[in-house]
Amino acid sequence: MIKVFVPRDSTALSLGADRTAKAIAAEAQKRGIEIELVRNGSRGLFWLEPFVEVATDKGRVAYAPVQPKDVPSLFDADFLHAGAHPLNLGLTESLNWLKKQQRLTFARIGITDPVSLDDYIAHDGYKGLANALKMSGADIVKTVTDSGLRGRGGAAFPTGIKWNTVLNSPADQKYIVCNADEGDSGTYSDRMVMEDDPYVLIEGMTIAGVAVGATQGYIYLRSEYPHALKVLNEAIEKANQAGYLGDNICGSGKAFHLEVRRAAGAYVCGEETSLLESLEGKRGLVRFKPPLPAIEGLFGKPTVVNNVISLATIPIILDKGAQFYADYGMGRSRGTLPIQLAGNLKQGGLVELAFGATLRELLYDFGGGSASGKPIRAVQVGGPLGAYLPESQFDTPLDYEEFSKLWAVLGHGGIVAFDDTVDMAKMARYAFEFCAIESCGKCTPCRIGSTRGVEVMDKITSGKDHAKNIQLVRDLSDTMLNGSLCALGGMTPYPVLSALNHFPEDFGLNKKEVAA
Amino acid sequence: MTTVLSSHESAQIDAQIQVHRDKPGALLPVLHAIQDTLGYVPEAAYPQIAHALALSVAEVHGVVTFYHHFRTHPVGKHVLQVCRAESCQAMGAEKLEAHIKSTLGIDYHQTTADGAITLEPVYCLGNCACSPAVLMDEELYGRVDSQKIVEIIHEARVAS
């Protein structure tokens, strides 16, 4: 029977993939043709969703974007046998956009049926866990350390070092917590992993549990991701039934239990200590550090808190070895980064590449330039707390240290492009506003500073005491930067000051006035 | 303002508490379950929740009001969440927001007079490659423009 693939990823659904799938099923039935309709994950070419594929002897052939009205003509053109049609893009694997990528964490995404455990196993799934179960905890941790993997949530802290602390903190109970509170605008790679390849996250968490001796895991999932919740729960149930989770994982005698917990719309809960408070059923107030969560985390017990992408990268490292992963990348940024192209771009989507590609390659070679056709004027990398970069910095390679030299961050790998209609003073004001809405309120620089920031920005844009208020924004940013308890208040100055320094004309200044 | 719960509501709340009360850190799962059932978390339910989880009413109030997701008042039949974050702004979300507010005749956190739609702001729906995005109940939409949003609102009204 011929296999037809129509993605079930949220973005595909948001562009009508369900209607397309129904239309294909109905048309096939009408014509008396038997097909097997697979709801796969998305390949990540989001501007082409709904992205339909047909399995042929030569590989999968893509037709995109397919709306219900296109379906009869696709059947007329015999698309089930790769027939010619204006929407025929040829073999999916031959598409330049995919060929140029290095998909390690995203190796299966878009190819498999996300909730099929058989599909997962047939595509190298659970090989990493099989290896891990033959190793000592210390050896697993060493492999992760040697791979050079750094926290993909944004902080870029070496994952292996965090695990090692938990491994060496004796306790009657330890926890693995997955931070799936992906709140940064311009990011969706966590969502894709959870919706399109949930078992890779489950496997990664299980390996983490085996490595450090934790028997309970929690996925703290943002409430804005209803589809991810359903997929994760279905996958966890199947993994339990098949013995990949539970009291005796794969007959090893080791236990690992996993539960999804829904967040409740607080951005600050992406900060690890605030997240732990929330999991404990409290207000998501940021904790003082020390103690580190690795020593006193959830319910006061040693806890690994890792981002979705960090954990989802563990299986391939344990499958192919530390060196395989470390061979990708540049400098101290080892491996690959799933980059998310967003905002005003013609071709938005998921690009996984080894560290080292430049922003310009991503914006133009992959992104195809702006969606509006106007020049790209500013790019925000790393979410709402990331700096705005002007065109003169587009040749910067994606590398944690190179970005830090520019007083910018890679964060979770989200890239949001703005065309030349953007008002950067407005974006600076928005950064303060967002911080005021999301501040947990524990520390003064963030709680009060964010609100004062909005007020000062309003004075600047209305021209009131202009020079004085520009200086005030700088002073306020300095206080927030150095005096806040966590990255929310501490990094809000990144978008604010980068906007001011790179785009002074939007703040009513001449370029020359901002040599600082 | 605290209103009195009907015995039916009270029983529904109690049923949800019973399902989740023994979980470690049970308060958020309990609140989610209550909001999923009733559409909001009534303030009148605080004592019942607090008692079951051995918390103070103030603690329950503190948690409910900390999180943007929880509501203490009933909402319309449908909840429309409009993304205000940067990626959507880069694709004209501000204009879309204004259009939605004028179409519905309400501001954020308000419900249309016919009780059909409650409007909420949201900061990222993870659909940033196809901005601007909105979420109608649990249905996500991408590349939403002034025409598409009218259809989305119409479909929701017809469905209710």
Which of B87, B122, B127 is closest, CB to CB, to A416? B87
Cα gap A116→A104, rounded to integer Å: 20
Interval A90-112 mean pLDDT: 98
Against a cut of 0.90, is the pTM above it?
A: yes
Residue A512 confidence (pLDDT): 63
- For A450-509, how does the pLDDT look when each residue is reduced to its tens digit (9 = 90+)? 999 999 999 999 999 999 999 999 999 999 999 999 999 999 999 999 999 999 999 999
Fold category of A329-419 in CATH? Ubiquitin-like (UB roll) (3.10.20)
The yes-or-no verdict on residue A302 having pLDDT over 50 is yes
Contacts of A345 in chain B (CB under 8 A): 129
Arithmetic mean of pLDDT over chain B:
96
Q: Test B140 with A182 for CB contact under 8 angstroms.
A: no
CB of A418 within 8 Å of a chain B CB? The answer is yes
Q: Which residues are A350's β-sheet partners?
A: A340
Q: Test A187 with B28 for CB contact under 8 angstroms.
A: no
Domain segments of chain B: what residues?
7-66, 78-159
Contact A355, A108 (CB under 8 A): no
Nearest residue of chain A to residue B133 (CA atoms): A14
Q: Test A185 with B129 for CB contact under 8 angstroms.
A: no
Residue B71 to chain A, least CA–CA distance (Å)? 11
Interval B48-65 mean pLDDT: 98
The yes-or-no verdict on residue A516 having pLDDT over 80 is no
Residue A162 to chain B, least CA–CA distance (Å)? 24
- Domain covering A117-326 assigned CATH 3.40.50.11540 in the classification: yes
Q: How far is CA B51 from CA A147, A432, B34, B55, in A?
A: 49, 39, 15, 6
Nearest residue of chain B to residue A45 (CA atoms): B129
Interval A47-60 mean pLDDT: 98
Which of B25, B69, B126 is closest, CB to CB, to A265? B69
Contact A384, A342 (CB under 8 A): no
Sign of CA dihedral A489, A493, A499, A500: positive
Q: Residue A248: what residue type?
A: N
Residue B159 confidence (pLDDT): 85
CB of A206 within 8 Å of a chain B CB? The answer is no
Q: Test B63 with A283 for CB contact under 8 angstroms.
A: yes
Torsion of CA A478, A484, A486, A489, to 10 degrees: -60
Fold category of A2-98 in CATH? Glutaredoxin (3.40.30)
Cα gap B48→B87, rounded to integer Å: 42
Residue B10 tokens, joined: 């009270």
Residue A187 confidence (pLDDT): 97
Nearest residue of chain A to residue B134 (CA atoms): A14
The yes-or-no verdict on residue A511 having pLDDT over 80 is no
Q: Which of residues 260-299 of A touch B (CB under 8 A)?
A: 261-267, 278-284, 299
Q: Alpha helix locations (H) across A257-381?
A: 272-279, 308-320, 322-326, 359-360
Contact A241, A234 (CB under 8 A): no
- For A400-446, how does the pLDDT look when each residue is reduced to its tens digit (9 = 90+)? 999 999 999 999 999 999 999 999 999 999 999 999 999 999 999 99
| Residue ranges matching CATH 3.10.20.600 in chain A | 329-419
CATH code that applies to domain B78-159: 3.40.30.10
Q: Test B86 with A186 for CB contact under 8 angstroms.
A: yes
Three-state secondary structure readout of A333-397: EECEEEEEEEECCCCCEEEEEECCCEHHHHHHHHCCCCCCCCCEEEEEECCCCCCEEEHHHCCCE
| Residue ranges matching CATH 3.40.30.10 in chain A | 2-98
Contact A93, A55 (CB under 8 A): no
DSSP-assigned letters across all residues of A307-338: EHHHHHHHHHHHHH-HHHHHTSEETTEESEEE
- For A67-95, how does the pLDDT look when each residue is reduced to its tens digit (9 = 90+)? 999 999 999 999 999 999 999 999 999 99
3.40.50.970, 3.40.50.300, 1.20.1440.230, 3.40.50.720: CATH of A424-513: 1.20.1440.230
Cα gap B14→A479, rounded to integer Å: 47
Q: Test B127 with A422 for CB contact under 8 angstroms.
A: no
Residue A269 tokens, joined: 């809960």
Buried b (16+ CB within 10 A) or exposed e, A387-402: bbbbeebbebbbbbeb
Q: Test A261 with B70 for CB contact under 8 angstroms.
A: no
Chain B positions touching chain A (beta carbons under 8 Å): 24-29, 31-32, 53, 59, 62-63, 66-70, 81, 85-91, 122-131, 133, 135, 138, 140-143
